[in-house]
Amino acid sequence: MTEGILHRSFLDLHELMARREISSVDVTRATLERVQRLDPDVGAYLLVTEEQALAQAVEADRAYAEDRANALTGIPFALKDIISTLGIRTTCGSRILENYVPVYQGQVAGRLLESGAVLIGKTNMDEFAMGSSTEHSGFFPTRNPWDRDRVPGGSSGGSAAAVSAGMAAFALGTDTGGSIRQPASLCGVVGLKPTYGRVSRYGLVAFASSLDQIGPIARSVPEVAAVLGVIAGHDPHDSTTLRAEVPDYRAGLTGEVRGLRIGVPKEYFPDTLESGVAAAVSQGLASLESLGAHLVDISLPMTDAALSCYYIVAPSEAMSNLARYDGVRYGLREQAADVWTLFDRTRERGFGAEVKRRILVGAYALSKGYYEAYYVKALEVRALVQRDFEAAFQQVDVIAGPTSPTTAFRLGERLDDPLSMYLADAFTLPANMAGICGVSVPCGLAGGLPVGLQILGPKLGEQTILRVADAYERSAGFNVLVPPLTFGAPA
């Protein structure tokens, strides 16, 4: 089977498998061969689970033969390496967990495997999900399949790059401040951040517990909807999951947006927005208007404050969560004569520079004398960000604008400028602060690089934002953006 089929929708692959025209073993082998050929140049994977994948594919073909398959059965997928996998190494992109093998299965991993999906491997990421470029991995950077001199975004850059390059039909990432949507935008794929609590975080290694959310990345909106339908729902292992019915997200993709009110926030179109991004997003909005939607100018005045607020709340929670990595219970352990030296040596060697930076910021914000001035004040600002969105959704059904202020930037370009790196998430992190949902869908190219249109919805508004994204996708024809891959060993 040629690799060309790997750029088809996995929903099409499911139909072909159901008709016995192809097998999961065929698709899985083709995917593994593509990973072997392309990934040395991309660096999307930290671990490839070839033996397990082929065994799962055999079982998937048995499920098709016995007419007990679903839309994900036999479909190759990848997991961001921050999601625990039973018996399979989970590093979080950090040297401190380089040899850590979980003894339990993350809820989303379990649901996908129970559905018959085939795990190809674990994807690269910014260490502990702290970054916007996947250059902060403790092992190696991931490169954008559209231009290997550029970043794929982050922190779920490995997952987005794998899907973009056809090395996985879909993948899961995590979104704490835009870490699904921003790399999806930069790699030309679709990425969804669900409402906080819509998807279980059981088995997700925590960065910032009040912000983290797991979500799907795929090449089209219907595929993202199919994956969300499997991973969403209440989980007794995670008390933050919502007890809300999971709708049929695919059935809601009617293509109809006539009469829908789409808010366009002026704060998401600053003078610093790249001209090519602005043009592509404006064209995308015009396309939705031509389908009968109404564009409404709105304001989200706390947008700038949200960025500052985020970089107090997230590091504070990270500092607390990362205190467990002490060299005593699991992970890296450095030899030392006393426990304090053990802590120091283990963390010095195990954590990278960006993680250390955020731990220090969090420790400062939570320290005596600064707690009320920084952390408590940030929580007050967070409430104002939430009110911004609540007020906006009284006027409009969804909010739309650019996902990222730029296209993919060059590797190394922002490594020595943390503030510039943090600004990459200026349009995505407010949604995390408010706990709402958002999706990035490709809306064209600027300078030969993908641009993402971000659509935000109220809490549990996934069905609406997916309907808008799908309608745009059908109209614009950008549902399959294939990077011009000019690298890799000959097929």
Give the model confidence (pLDDT) of 108-155 as tens digits.
999 999 999 999 999 999 999 999 999 999 999 999 999 999 999 999
pLDDT at residue number 488 = 67
pLDDT at residue number 478 = 57
Label the pairing between strands 449-457 and 437-446: antiparallel
The active-site residue out of 24, 132, 155, 404 is 155
Strand order of the sheet with strand 45-48? Answer: 45-48, 118-123, 76-80, 170-174, 214-218, 190-193, 437-446, 449-457, 398-402, 261-265, 294-298
Helix (H, G, I), strand (E, B) or coil at 109: helix
What's the CA gap between 85 and 28, in Å, rounded?
Answer: 19
Q: Are 258 and 291 in contact (CB under 8 A)?
A: yes
pLDDT at residue number 3 = 66
Q: Is the peptide bond before 155 cis (omega within 30 degrees of 0)?
A: yes
Nearest 5°: phi and psi at 120? -85, -35
Does the annotation mark 179 as catalytic? yes
For residue 181, the one-letter residue type is R
135 CB-near residues (< 8 Å, 6+ apart): 126, 141, 151, 154, 411, 412, 415
What's the CA gap between 176 and 361, in Å, rounded?
Answer: 17
For residue 474, the one-letter residue type is R
Label the pairing between strands 170-174 and 76-80: parallel
Does the annotation mark 459 as catalytic? no
Instruction: Report the predicted TM-score, pTM, of the whole model to 2 decimal places.
Output: 0.97
Give the model confidence (pLDDT) of 265-274 as tens digits.
999 999 999 9
Here the tokens at position 114 are 């129970």
Structural domains of the chain in order of their starting residue, each with its CATH number: 3-263+278-299+391-476 (3.90.1300.10)
For Cα atoms 452, 12, 22, give the angle at the middle one, nearest 5 degrees: 135
Does the annotation mark 185 as catalytic? no
Q: Are 13 and 23 in contact (CB under 8 A)?
A: no
What's the CA gap between 150 and 143, in Å, rounded?
Answer: 6
The active-site residue out of 23, 24, 80, 122 is 80
Q: What DSSP string describes 190-256? A: EEEEPPTTSB--TTBPPSSTTT--EEEEESSHHHHHHHHHHHBS--TT-TTS-------TTTT----
pLDDT at residue number 34 = 96
Consecutive 10-residue runs of the chain (491 residues): their mean pLDDT? 77 97 97 97 98 98 97 98 98 97 97 98 98 98 97 98 97 98 98 98 98 98 98 97 97 97 97 97 97 98 96 97 90 88 92 96 95 96 98 98 98 90 94 98 96 98 98 81 72 49
Q: Are 435 and 459 in contact (CB under 8 A)?
A: yes
Q: Are 94 and 350 in contact (CB under 8 A)?
A: yes
pLDDT at residue number 76 = 98
The active-site residue out of 84, 137, 179, 287 is 179
Residues in the chain, total:
491
Residue by residue, what is the 3-state secondary structure of 7-38? HCCHHHHHHHHHCCCCCHHHHHHHHHHHHHHH
CB-neighbour burial class of residue 4 (10 A; exposed 0-12, middle 13-18, buried 19+): exposed
Tell me the Cα Rg of the chain: 21
Number of H helices and E strands in the chain, helices first, is 15, 11
